[in-house]
Chains A and B, each alone.
Chain A
């Protein structure tokens, strides 16, 4: 009877031994015919039995409890939330926004902008006493785009020297009667709010027609 060659049964022998099952009819017939395969079958069975014994003997093995406690302690100390990549780069837009804000501040604060400039007082010949409010009839020309004075806000009036060009930069056109050059100096009373920003200008002693 042809029971096949040994190579055909090699893996089947190992699988039967590993699973502790008896070989099938054809394999059994081959084992009866082939002495080397019969020996191999016995060797595989013994190996499986020894491995099983070894497995049972070592089944409960594990690291000591000290290692578990160490791990839990280290877990308690470990930082929880990892720095995510987008967090790592969050400073870039923040820094850019700050830079833009700073640049805008500088640009808006430059002379010649519509925003009223801060004045350094050169003299205070006039005080706010008797100030009747910003009114062109009083000779006070409002500074365009300046914030209106709040109700009850105190003001300070300072006198200083100006020239036509500075008036223009503040957004105030020189009066029709103004006959001087833009570089000619004249005196002006300047109304400052509590924030020290000019609200109105009263021209004094300017060259007229």
Chain B
């Protein structure tokens, strides 16, 4: 499906409220992939990511949805819903249960994944949630600081400082996984 961007999310939402299936399909195509990837990185679990992304859309289309265009964008609403649902899933499963594991990609994916990618995956997983969120939005999804700040609901400076600190932590962590010159020549 080709995703047109000439209609704003908010216009699509208004049409969805009137029962327009096409508008929902368009919004879903436009926002679901990134929302899912965000959920995946924040939860570390594919099943949880799929469920939370689905649930976020479900909350949006409910007759009593709490979305208010004066308070933020549809996209920010969806990300906020995923954030809350992921937190709730963590609480239900036990805090940190996935912190030391890579994203559950399945056996085949794990086998073909490079060691470096796996190391990065684990390093991202181990970041504090706020830092992880900044890396996911700014470096993995290539959002601007302003966009990321809107989605997270914090000042731009907070996103920027979280990202710099997160990158320092990631760089330090990944150094452990990289082959040193001595290891490489051995």
Contact = CB atoms under 8 A, between A and B. Distances in A.
Interface of A: 10-11, 14, 18, 40, 43-44, 46-48, 50-51, 53-55, 57-58, 60-64, 67-68, 70-72, 74-76, 78-83
B124 to A, nearest CB: 8
Given A51-B120, A79-B63, A62 B21 contact: no
A54 B24 contact: no
B159 to A, nearest CB: 13
A121 B168 CA distance: 103
A81 B117 CA distance: 48
A54 B32 contact: no
A47 B117 contact: no
Contacts, number: 94
B58 interface: yes
Interface residues of B, number: 42
18 contacts: A11-B164, A43-B175, A47-B174, A51-B140, A53-B117, A54-B117, A54-B121, A55-B139, A61-B40, A62-B37, A71-B54, A71-B58, A74-B61, A75-B61, A80-B17, A80-B19, A82-B63, A82-B64
A37 B75 CA distance: 38
A79 B17 CA distance: 10
A78 B63 contact: yes
A47 B171 contact: yes
Contact of A47 (B28, B40, B57, B170): B170
Contacts of B12: none
Given A14-B167, A43-B171, A68-B32, A58 B37 contact: yes
A80 B37 contact: no
A200 B33 CA distance: 86
B139 A50 contact: no
B116 interface: yes
A179 B12 CA distance: 87
Contact of B36 (A48, A50, A61, A72): A61
B7 interface: no
A63 B167 contact: no
A71 to B, nearest CB: 5
Given A47-B170, A72-B24, 17 more contacts: A44-B167, A46-B171, A51-B140, A54-B140, A55-B140, A55-B141, A58-B140, A61-B37, A62-B32, A62-B36, A63-B54, A67-B53, A67-B54, A68-B25, A74-B61, A75-B61, A82-B63
A51 B171 CA distance: 11
Nearest to A58: B37
